[in-house]
Amino acid sequence: MPLEKPEDYPLLDTSKDYCVHCARSDGTMKSYEEALEGMTGFMVKTQGIDETAAQDMAAILMAKMPAWRDHESPRNKR
């Protein structure tokens, strides 16, 4: 998600390097697993793809995001 306006950031805090979808309600960053689960579910629901494919796609996308760039993806452990 592009971080273009304050509403894109958790609690409108533009100093964060993650978006509202990667944040908990208190503004702290979700764990990688929480974010991956959320993005996977979103893709299954909105794009109608199976969960394995959605998780692979989510992991690829998350690897390009600053907050998750250096995280070991579960898809590399298969």
Give the pLDDT confidence score for residue 49 in this predicted structure. 93
Non-local CB neighbours of 26 within 8 Å, separated by 6+ positions: none
**Which pLDDT tens digits describe the chain residue by residue (78 residues)?**
788 999 999 999 999 988 999 999 999 999 999 999 999 999 999 999 999 999 999 999 999 988 888 876 655 454
Domain ranges of the chain: 6-68
Distances (CA, A) of 66 to 16, 49, 52, 72: 10, 26, 24, 13
**pTM (two decimals):** 0.79
